[in-house]
Structure formats: structure tokens, C-alpha cells
Structure 1
Amino acid sequence: MINRNKLFLFALILASFNLRPGITSVSPVLHGITKELGMSSTSASLLTSIPLLCFGFCSLFASRLANRYQSEKIITFSIACIGIATFLRVFTNSSIYLLITALLIGAGIGVVSPLLAGFIKSYFPENAAPMIGIYSTSMVVGASISIGLTTPLQHWLNDSWKNGLAFWSIFSLFALPLWFMVIKYSRTHTNKALQKRPASLPLKNKEAWLLTSFVGLVTLLFYCFAAWLPAIVEEKGGTSAFGGLIGTISMIAQLPATLLLPSLLKVIPSRRLWITFFTLSVIIGLSLLGFTNLTPIVSSICLGIGGGGLVSLTLLLPIDKTTSPIEASTWSAMTQAIGYMIGAVGPFIIGFLHDYMGSFVPTLYLLIIIGFIVILLGWKITKPANVKQEGIAIK
């Protein structure tokens, strides 16, 4: 007899693996893509920006789809869409075609991501915190593997970046059989409470907008260096393989931050301190990358630790700020949807400025300034409050 909890755990992990490679696998082979398809840096940046825009937009409709058709079925269908769109990249013959696959991948990710959080709340209510840790860590692992292996796969698979990108559809092939089993073993009853009209987004709440701005700028920082770090390393004289390695190191460096943050918050619960610490880590990484000749490995570690910690905090803060599950879900929907749309602008701006100025260095100045704005917003949204989460005062 199948152990349902183990089945659902492995299904969660494999689903999480699918949520980043469609975006992060592009950056190691971006130079080859732009050269073969004749894309400018600005148009190439859309390969990251378009999925993020779709991510934000589609997340607004995920819960409605789940309520109507069953969450597990929508997750399974969306993983299949991600896998098919990723595989179709093997037939890429124009920049428009590649951008369409990016749009489909982003739409699939936008639906799956919020539904996996609900999946955890539904089937692991007593272990939500560690399961969210497994969820976020699995995403980082998937991103790290795709960044590190896309360039070698390109060389092994007929020296084609198309084959290297399409290879990552393999994650969906592993995930789908488990999710068909999840549908079979999932709860068959309908929760009538979920059929009610969804709570409205806190669009008139100033603090919600501050938090959304914070999430947006953190997302912008994260995906700017996720998309362009290998290209920046190449501009500084590194090879494409070395650029891919640097991107992988940056992703792997996120793991300690995502895994240890819950324990760190128990020791020092101040959100302000950790927002400041992780953002300064990003600022230091950007400064070392742009203004010193120190090996990019050090910069990538700083960027990874800072980025991983900040992204984890963006998942936690909406819960801190709310007092009920329904309220938390509406805040999370708003911060992720609008925040990721804000973040999607970042890679496009970096590509445009690179085309205009011919160098990535001026863009690093801009990202450093944004980093200091993140600290200011972080302090603004973490004013001492009476809300408590698991017995820890919010500071």
C-alpha cells in the first residue's frame, strides 16, 4: 500500500524542481541565443521578464481555477504545460518562438506556485513550516542544477543551446506520474468554504502596498542577477562555462539562507536585522562584482546568501502581517502578483541599459541604489507591532 504522505512529499519536491529551470537555464547560454537569433540585450531580457509577468498575472487566477477544477488537477495540468513548452524550445527558429515558450512557462509557474502553498496547508497542516522550507529549497536546487548543467548539456547534445534548454522538460516527466497518483489519492470531498467568493485583495491598505513594493524590489534584484550574472562574468573576461559556474555557485549559496532562516529567526527574531543583513550581502556582492578584480566566486556567494534570505523573508512577511489564513492568502496573492510584475521590469531595464551604454557597470550602480531602498522599505514595514507569529514578536 502506498504511503500517501511520502507520495505527496516527493510529488511536492518534483513539482518544485519544475518552477525555475525554464527561467534560469537561459542565462548560461544567453550569449549563444543572442548571437544566433540576432537578439539585442533588451529583447533577450524578455526571456526572463515575460515569465515573471505571467507568473504575477496568472497567480491571481490560480485559486479560482483550483476551486472550480480541483487543485491537484490544475497543478498536474500546469506542470505538463511547463514541460511541453520547455521541450518545444528544441524547435526554436526565431526570437518570437522562444519568447512564446517563455510566456507559456511563466503562465504554468504562475499557477503552480500559489497552489503548492495551498497544497502544503491542506495536507501538511501540522508541518507547514518545514514543508515550505523543503518547497523553497527544492526550487533552489532545480535552479542550481539548470544553471550549472545547461552549458555542458549544450556541448554534449550536438553543441546546441536549443537542446540544452529543452532538456529540462525531463523534470516534468519525472513529476507527472506522481501527480497523477496524487489526484487518485487526494481528498475527494469538496470544501464548501472554498466555494465562497474569494476575499478581496487589500488594495486600500497602505501597509500592504509597502510590503508589495518591498517584494517587488527584492524580486527585481534577485532576477536581475539571476538573469545577467553569467553575462556580466563573460563581459569581465570569463568563458561561458565559467559564467554558468558562477551562476550555479550563486544559486547553491542560497541554500544555507533558505534552510537556516527559520532557526536564525528563533535565535534573533528581528526581521529588520535580517532584512538589513541579507540586503547588505547583496550590495557587497554587486560592489565586488562591478568595482574590483576579485574573483566573481566571492561576489556570487554574497549575492546567493543575500538573495536567498530576502526571498524567504518575502514569503514570511505576509503571514507576519495578518491574523487569519484568509487574510494571509489575500496579502500573499497581492504581494506575489503585483510584486513579481514589478520584478519583471528589472531584467528588461538591465538589458536596455546595457544596449545603450555598452557595459554592465552602470547597471550595477542602479542595483546598489535599489538595494538601499530595499533596506529603507524593510525598516518601514517592520515597525514594532503587536502581531505575533508562533510566539515571536514582530520587529
Structure 2
Amino acid sequence: MKLSNRNKLFLGALILAAFNLRPGITSISPVLNEITKGLGMSSALASLLTSIPLLCFGFCSLFAGRLASRFQSEKTITFFITLIGIVTFARIFTNSTIFLLITALLIGAGIGIVSPLLSGFIKNNFPEKAASMIGIYSTSMVVGASISIGLTPPIQHWLNNSWSNGLAFWSILALIAVPFWLMVIKSSNTHIESQKIKSTLPLKNKNAWLLTAFVGLVTLMFYCFAAWLPAIVVEKGGTTELGGVVGTIAMIAQLPATLLLPSLLRAVPSKRFWITILTLSIMIGLSLLSFTNVTPIISSICLGIGSGGLVSLTLLLPIDKASSPMEASSWSAMTQAIGYMIGAIGPFIIGFLHDYLGSFIPTLYLLIFLGFIVILLGWKITKGEDIEEEFSIE
């Protein structure tokens, strides 16, 4: 894949932006036990550290297109990556539950604006390579999530054994990304185009709603185990260190699925097939945790492969069907906005049920059941495999 120097800059900026879209959320899970003890939080309250940014993510996605139309997409992305970095660094001053929840809210808002705009950025600058760029974009997010889960505990120990210092460390990713985006702004020529196109959400499109429901349940399942998998491992008798390792492996296991998805789709173009296979992988991982004493590492690999591929598909479908960068941003904004609001409910429900039932096992049964619904929705939105017609944009 040959790229001009300009597009190499844009690709580098895309990767660095994607690195910033998960650590503010995923770095919480490996130190969640220390946070709950240090701040005296219940499991339900602690789950809000994941649910609140997802809710904000969803709500703020609704405004991404409007902001891009008014201020230019690249400038908006740069501003909100800077916001994510500043707020992440501010976690070093955490001394209360409220303060930490506020940082989660603001980080979620920044992610909610940046994420759909990156879909439009891909559509505008790499229209013929969208699938490959989505693979790189998704892989970069997974890398960001993986390193934040795996390295937050040791970084915490290196930085005066402080979990707040460990969380704040990830602001370095924004510090690296912002200079690249300032160069992108100088090189971009999309300002006039984006000002002329009115951004509207496809709220009257039935297929958009089906896709949104699909995105919502995929997101819910992913963030439930992203938030609670280390704690589930500990409840089953594992150490805190093993919980962190399992969480990291689950994230790393997403890499093959996200990176290879474009090639897999070329080999077997049926999205229905891949939705089914990837969802079954998640259900197998959950079943191993629920019904066996097999090492949770195997479960984490199944969860990672399945979720990595499904999340990539949720990013690719809106871009494939859009006829312009702003349209891609609008469809991505709708599916991510409402979808991530649905997803935000998941970690809280898991935390609440754990407080009420005293065990994570019944919550795993619930997630396995949701897997069947994801498959049914996947079959519905890929009916006839002719997605060009099924997802025509109004």
C-alpha cells in the first residue's frame, strides 16, 4: 500500500489519535480494587468509572458532526485529543470519588467527539482503502487499550505505588499525538467541503436503527468484560497479578482479528459468517469462565478474538455505506452515540448484580444470552448479504 508523504502523515496521526481512545477507560480495570479500597467505593459505584465515559461518549457523539461542520474536522479532533490528555493528567490530583468520576465524564466526552470524526477522516483521505484503514485504526485502539491494562500496575508501583499516578501517566499519549494533528491541520484541505455539507443523523432509517442496536449490544458485551474480567478472575481464585495478565491478554488477542479482518473479508466476503463466528468466540470464552475451571487465559483469548473482530465490523459498516466524509461521520455518530449509551449500561448492571448476588457467575449467564441476540441482529442486518442495498443512506 503506497502512500504519499501527506497521507503518511495522516496515517501516523490516525494511529496516534486511536491510541488515545481507550486508556482513559481501560487503565481503570487493573487497579480497580485499589481504587475501590482507597476511595471506599462499592462495586456498583466503581462500575460508573466505565459506564460514565461510555454514556458521555454516546451523548457527545451526537454533536461531532455539527462541531466538524463549524470548526473543521481536524481542528475539532486536535482540540478534544488535547482535552483527553489534560484531563487524564489531572487524575494525578485525585482525592475523591467525585473528582475521579468527573475526569471519567470529560474523557468520555472527548472520545465521543473524536471517534466518529476519525471515521469521516478515513472516508475523506482514504476512500479506496477504508477497510484497511479501519483495520489499522481498530488495531491502534486495541494496542492503546492493551498497554494501558498491562502497564498501569507496574507504572503504579514505579510512581510511588500510587494508582492515581498510574492513571495520569497515560496523558503522554496525547502529548505525542497533538503535534502530529497540528501538522495535519496545516496540510488539510477539507475545511471548505465540511462547511458546505449539513450533517444530519439517519434517525428515520430502519436499517440504521438495526445497526445501532447491533453496535449497542457488541459494545455492552465488550465493556462488561473489559471492566470486570480481572475482578472475575480474582473471584475465581486467581491473584490480582493474574487478573491483570488475563485482561491484557484479552486485549492483545484482539489484534489478530482487527488487523486481519480486511483480509478475512476478502477471503470470505460474508459479514454474516464473520459476525456469527466472532460472537460464538465470545460466548465460548464466557462459557469457559462460567462452567469450567480451565485457565482464564484461554477464555480471555476467545473473548479478545471475538470482540476485536466485532468492534472492527461496527466501525466498518457505517463507512462502507456512506457517500461522503460527513455522511460517514453522521452514521458513525448515530451508531456510536446510541450504541455506546446502550453499552454503558452493561458494566453498571454487572456491578449492581454482583453487589446483590455476591457472585459474577449469574452475570456471565446474562452475557451468554445476549450473544444469541447479537447473532440474530447480525443475521438481520446482513440479510441477503447485499449490504449496499440493505443499508442505503437516506
1:82 to partner: Cα distance: 0.3
Q: CA 1:6–1:95 in 2, change beyond 3 Å: closer, same or farther?
A: same
User: What is the aligned partner in structure 2 of residue 25 from structure 1?
Assistant: 27
Listed one character per residue, the Cα deviations across residues 139-160 of structure 1 (whole Å, up to 9, x for unaligned) are: 1001000000001111111111
Does the alignment pair 1:373 with 2:373?
yes
Matched position secondary structure for 2:199? coil
User: What is the aligned partner in structure 2 of residue 71 from structure 1?
Assistant: 73
Number of residue pairs matched by the alignment: 385
Give the fraction of aligned pairs with identical amino acids, expressed as a percent. 77
Q: Distance in 1 between matches of 2:346 and 2:305?
A: 20
Q: Distance in 1 between matches of 2:281 and 2:53?
A: 26
Listed one character per residue, the Cα deviations across residues 354-390 of structure 1 (whole Å, up to 9, x for unaligned) are: 111111111101111111111111112211054449x
Does the alignment pair 1:136 with 2:144?
no
Q: CA 1:329–1:176 in 2, change beyond 3 Å: closer, same or farther?
A: closer
Listed one character per residue, the Cα deviations across residues 271-312 of structure 1 (whole Å, up to 9, x for unaligned) are: 221111111110110011122111010000000001011111
Listed one character per residue, the Cα deviations across residues 245-284 of structure 1 (whole Å, up to 9, x for unaligned) are: 1111001100111111111122222222111111111011
Does the alignment pair 1:156 with 2:158?
yes
1:323 to partner: Cα distance: 6.5
1:180 to partner: Cα distance: 1.8
RMSD: 1.8
Listed one character per residue, the Cα deviations across residues 311-340 of structure 1 (whole Å, up to 9, x for unaligned) are: 1111233355x4633655443322111101
Q: Distance in 1 between matches of 2:361 and 2:190?
A: 55
Q: Are 2:136 and 2:258, in contact at CA under 8 Å, matched by a contact in 1?
A: no
Matched position secondary structure for 1:251? helix
Q: Are 1:52 and 1:341, in contact at CA under 8 Å, matched by a contact in 2?
A: yes
Q: Are 1:151 and 1:240, in contact at CA under 8 Å, matched by a contact in 2?
A: no
Q: CA 1:149–1:275 in 2, change beyond 3 Å: closer, same or farther?
A: same
Q: Distance in 1 between matches of 2:26 and 2:47?
A: 12
Q: Are 1:78 and 1:111, in contact at CA under 8 Å, matched by a contact in 2?
A: yes
User: What is the aligned partner in structure 2 of residue 324 from structure 1?
Assistant: 323
Matches within 5 A, 1:1-395: 3-187=5-189, 190-191=192-193, 194-199=195-200, 201-319=201-319, 322=321, 324-325=323-324, 328-384=328-384, 386-388=386-388
Matched position secondary structure for 2:202? coil
Q: CA 1:205–1:126 in 2, change beyond 3 Å: closer, same or farther?
A: closer
TM-score, normalization by structure 1: 0.93
Q: Residue type matched to 2:331 in 1?
A: W
Q: Distance in 1 between matches of 2:173 and 2:386?
A: 44
1:198 to partner: Cα distance: 2.1
Q: Are 2:258 and 2:312, in contact at CA under 8 Å, matched by a contact in 1?
A: yes
Q: Residue type matched to 1:40 in 2?
A: S
1:132 to partner: Cα distance: 2.0
1:195 to partner: Cα distance: 2.6
Q: Distance in 2 between matches of 1:343 and 1:170?
A: 27
Q: Are 2:92 and 2:167, in contact at CA under 8 Å, matched by a contact in 1?
A: yes
1:53 to partner: Cα distance: 0.8
Q: Distance in 2 between matches of 1:57 and 1:371?
A: 25
Q: CA 1:32–1:185 in 2, change beyond 3 Å: closer, same or farther?
A: same
User: What is the aligned partner in structure 2 of residue 393 from structure 1?
Assistant: none
Q: Are 1:34 and 1:44, in contact at CA under 8 Å, matched by a contact in 2?
A: yes
Listed one character per residue, the Cα deviations across residues 97-141 of structure 1 (whole Å, up to 9, x for unaligned) are: 000000010001111111112222222333332222211111100
TM-score, normalization by structure 2: 0.93
Listed one character per residue, the Cα deviations across residues 67-87 of structure 1 (whole Å, up to 9, x for unaligned) are: 111222111110111011111
Q: Residue type matched to 1:153 in 2?
A: I
Q: Distance in 2 between matches of 1:154 and 1:357?
A: 31
Q: Distance in 1 between matches of 2:186 and 2:222?
A: 37
Q: CA 1:10–1:331 in 2, change beyond 3 Å: closer, same or farther?
A: closer
Q: CA 1:177–1:108 in 2, change beyond 3 Å: closer, same or farther?
A: same
Q: Are 2:19 and 2:140, in contact at CA under 8 Å, matched by a contact in 1?
A: yes
Quick check: 308-317 or 78-87, which moved more? 308-317
Q: Distance in 1 between matches of 2:303 and 2:275?
A: 14
1:27 to partner: Cα distance: 0.2
Matched position secondary structure for 1:87? helix
Q: Are 2:120 and 2:328, in contact at CA under 8 Å, matched by a contact in 1?
A: no
Matched position secondary structure for 1:202? coil
Q: Are 1:232 and 1:360, in contact at CA under 8 Å, matched by a contact in 2?
A: yes
Matched position secondary structure for 2:198? coil
Q: Are 1:285 and 1:300, in contact at CA under 8 Å, matched by a contact in 2?
A: yes
Matched position secondary structure for 1:93? coil
Matched position secondary structure for 2:192? coil
Q: Residue type matched to 2:142 in 1?
A: V
1:219 to partner: Cα distance: 0.4
